[in-house]
Amino acid sequence: GVWILLFFGFLADVKFGAVLLSSRPSLSASHLSLAHLYVGVLLVLQTAVTAKWVSRKHRLSFFRLVFRTCCLVPLAPVSFSENLFADFLTSIGRPLKDFAYTVCYLGHWRGMDVLEIRSNCQASDGLAWFGLQLMLVMPLIIRMWQCIRRVRDTGVCFLHLLNCGKYATTILVSIL
């Protein structure tokens, strides 16, 4: 029942500005809406629910995997789980970029019209553009380092360097 109420309140607020803008003028001045509340509540509930599903040992193991994959790439041999995790990161690059656009939209949608929001959120200059490109390219750089490290560890040059070239080409395409 609560989810349905929140969802329809979210729709009413997005479509008509009907929920929080008319009842709370202080919120409309700060450009907050039910959309912000809805997303915040969902994130808190999801974190609370999933925190109970995963034990402390497994959470620490996951954070160790993230650290080894993102920070220790050229320094240590690459395990299968690190390889798989980096491959997963390369696969979700585009959804992460879309998530960044969603955050930008939710941050600006009350104060501007649609064309201004699109131009601000899709601007190809400045720090925001650099951050989005870094978000897309960083997993590819990690995979390149993993391929180079595999060459060092296994001695098989051709296949790992060919795979490294694939990621280097992808970086060039995503930047251009």
The answer to whether 74 and 145 have CB atoms below 8 angstroms apart is: yes
Tell me the pLDDT tens digit for each residue of 9-50: 666 665 555 554 444 545 555 555 556 666 777 778 877 877
pTM above 0.75, yes or no: no
pLDDT(76) > 80: yes
The answer to whether 86 and 69 have CB atoms below 8 angstroms apart is: yes
CA-derived radius of gyration, the chain: 21
Task: Please report where in the chains the tokens 């160790």 appear, as a residue.
Answer: 64
Provide mean pLDDT across the span 137-157: 90
Residue 20, classified by CB atoms within 10 Å of its CB into exposed (0-12), middle (13-18) or buried (19+), is buried
